[in-house]
Amino acid sequence: MDFPLFAVLAAMFTIATPLVWAALGAVINERAGILNLGIEGTMYAGAFCGFFAAATSGSVWFGLAAAVIAGALAGALMGLLTVTLGVNQHVAGIGTTLLLVAACNFANRLLFSSGSQTITAKFDRLFAGGGMLSQYPLTYVAFLLLAPALWWVLRSSGFGLRLRAVGENPEAADAAGIPVARTRYAALIIGGAMMAIGGSFLTLSLLGTFTIDIVSGRGWICIALVIFARWKVWPAVAGALLFAVTDALQLQLAISPLFSGVPNELLIAFPYLVVIAALAIWGRGIRYPGAYLKPYRRA
């Protein structure tokens, strides 16, 4: 068999793009001490709102802006629940996901009840025909701009230091004059916007249309990636690429005659199993952010 290495690598970067956006958004959340299980719903809202705004206005940029706003609002909702009210973060996140998915499906039924969805204008690949280099704009932004910038911000900037401080030891951060609640809200809003951009990549770049269950568990994958990456930027990117390459391989294997006997479902399940195996191998004894899952009230 002629192994299509470059096709797999090109597909790897494309598949990894929404995961990188959303997983890095989750890194920001969790470094500030909030586990955001609303990620699946936030991505779904980004995908739907992005599609809807682009379809009605005819501009993909409006779509992207709508996704950012939707994600920021979803982050603010998580902030209201977990920061202000101190609700259990697992329950708040699952509830947010259930609500956002149901609300988007409801809106989809109302707005596009005819069933056939209009294909919107979508972002095109740059360098068409350039092989591996021919990717969507958000892919370049994710790998060349977002990841290095976030790495620097978390490591060296004042905001990054404050973020880590409220996630590790909110009492000490508070004593040092860092506004804990405001910093966590900022983390949730920025992270939520990034998750929604990741979701909108599916509609505005990849498919150009919205389908039910379009996110199909990518948010949950990101939750696992972030733990696997121990809340660091570059390992999260690497984890997204690992997942993506197994997914891209799966797509190749599915069309290869060599694997025609293997059920397609087994190949689709493969990346999930790889992430669990990776967690089992490298995930033991990891140290969580100090304030993970704990609401903070000033003493």
Partner 1 sequence: MRILLRARESRWLAPAAVLIAVAITLLITAGPIRLAGANPVAAYERYLVTPLSTLNGVTEVLLASTPLIFTGLAVAIAFRVGYYNIGAEGQFLAGAIAATVPGLYLPDLPAALALPLALGAGFIGGAVWAFLPAWLKRHAKIDEVVTTLLLNPVALLLVQGLLNGPWRNSASGFPDSDTYGPGYTLPPVTDGSRVHWGLIIALILVAGTWIVMSFTPLGLRLRAAGQAPAAAQFSGIPVARLQWRCALISGGIAGMGGASQVLGVQHQLTAGISNGYGYTGIVVATLGALTAGGVLLVALLLGTIAVGAQNASISLQLPTQMGAIVSSTLLLAVVSLMALRRYRVVFGRRRPSGGPSLDETVATASEPDAAAKVGVR
Binding site for partner 1 (CB under 8 A): 35, 37, 80-81, 85-88, 90-92, 94-96, 98-99, 101-103, 105-106, 109-110, 171, 216-217, 220-221, 223-224, 227, 263-266, 268-269, 272-273, 275-276, 279-280, 283-286, 294-299
Residue closest to 235 by CA, chosen among 23, 7, 12, 49: 23
Q: Is 131 helix (H, G, I), strand (E, B) or coil?
A: helix
| Residue with smaller CB distance to partner 1, 11 or 226 | 226
Q: If you ran DSSP here, which 8-state letter would residue 141 be given?
A: I
Residue whose CB is less far from partner 1, 130 or 217: 217
CA trace torsion 198, 204, 207, 210 (10° rounding)? 90
Neighbours of 212 (CB within 10 A): 12
Q: Which among 272, 84, 278 is positioned nearest to 182, based on CA atoms?
A: 84
Alpha-carbon span 39 to 219, nearest angstrom = 5
Radius of gyration of the chain (CA): 19
Compare residues 155 and 294 and give the one whose CB is closer to partner 1: 294
Nearer to partner 1, 168 or 171 (CB): 171
Q: Tell me if 8 sits within 8 A of 164, measured CB to CB.
A: no
Q: How far is the CB of 91 from partner 1 (least distance, A)?
A: 5
* Shortest CB 6 distance to partner 1, Å: 28
Name the minimum Å distance from CB 83 to partner 1: 11
Nearer Cβ to partner 1, position 114 or 156? Answer: 114
Contact 164, 31 (CB under 8 A): yes
Distance CA 271, CA 255 (A): 17
Q: How far is the CB of 263 from partner 1 (least distance, A)?
A: 4
| Nearest distance in Å: CB 296, partner 1 | 7
Nearest CB to partner 1, comparing residues 76 and 103: 103
265: left (phi over 0), alpha (psi -120 to 50) or beta: alpha
The nearest distance, CB 186 to partner 1, in angstroms, is 20
